[in-house]
A and B are shown apart, each in its own frame.
Chain A
Amino acid sequence: KAGVTQTPRYLIKTRGQQVTLSCSPISGHRSVSWYQQTPGQGLQFLFEYFSETQRNKGNFPGRFSGRQFSNSRSEMNVSTLELGDSALYLCASSVTGDYGYTFGSGTRLTVV
């Protein structure tokens, strides 16, 4: 079966702009989580959605937001981009959100 699909794979944005990343989970998976991966901070949790509701949120500023649609697809948005937002953004899905997360290949965001 198809894995977790993230689009686009690469993005280059300018400081101050905003960006939207997309994630299509594995069919039947209702939980979608987002993580930020950087060399300095490692893998950090952003937020988790289940059945269109945000159930959990990490320690990121309000510039980072997300949503989930009725088909479980999810988007995350980062407004007023800063250089420090450059990272690999990973989406992970699971059936119920308590175990067995499958990650996508990520979106590499570069802010210049």
Chain B
Amino acid sequence: GENVEQHPSTLSVQEGDSAVIKCTYSDSASNYFPWYKQELGKGPQLIIDIRSNVGEKKDQRIAVTLNKTAKHFSLHITETQPEDSAVYFCAASYDTDKLIFGTGTRLQVFP
């Protein structure tokens, strides 16, 4: 069935360093790839998304890249700050289909 693998499960970085989280999806029909940030006690918050007709998208310190051939997509956070500490989820979907989520990455940014 449809599956999204996410790595690493935990990531610790020093403030100011970059963080990269990678996901692989199995359904080649997937055409929408959002990234969510979830803080303790809150629901997932959409931070950036990309559609399959675009290879890269950037929003300030956050960027997402998509390799459709390899069925990989990645989240890049530059100049990390302590407030970036949270659990990050990738997801994939096809049109109005359900979001298939990765297993999450716990990012810790140390001052």
Q: Which residues of A contact B (CB under 8 A)?
A: 4, 6, 31, 33, 35, 42-45, 48, 50, 55-56, 58, 90, 92, 96-106
Contact = CB atoms under 8 A, between A and B. Distances in A.
A90 B99 CA distance: 13
Contacts of A106: 43
A39 B42 CA distance: 15
Interface residues of B, number: 24
A interface, by DSSP: helix, strand, loop or mixed?
A: strand
16 contacts: A4-B43, A33-B99, A42-B101, A42-B102, A42-B103, A43-B89, A43-B91, A44-B101, A45-B99, A48-B96, A55-B96, A90-B43, A97-B96, A98-B95, A101-B46, A101-B99
B101 A43 contact: yes
B98 A48 contact: yes
A6 B34 CA distance: 22
A45 B104 contact: no
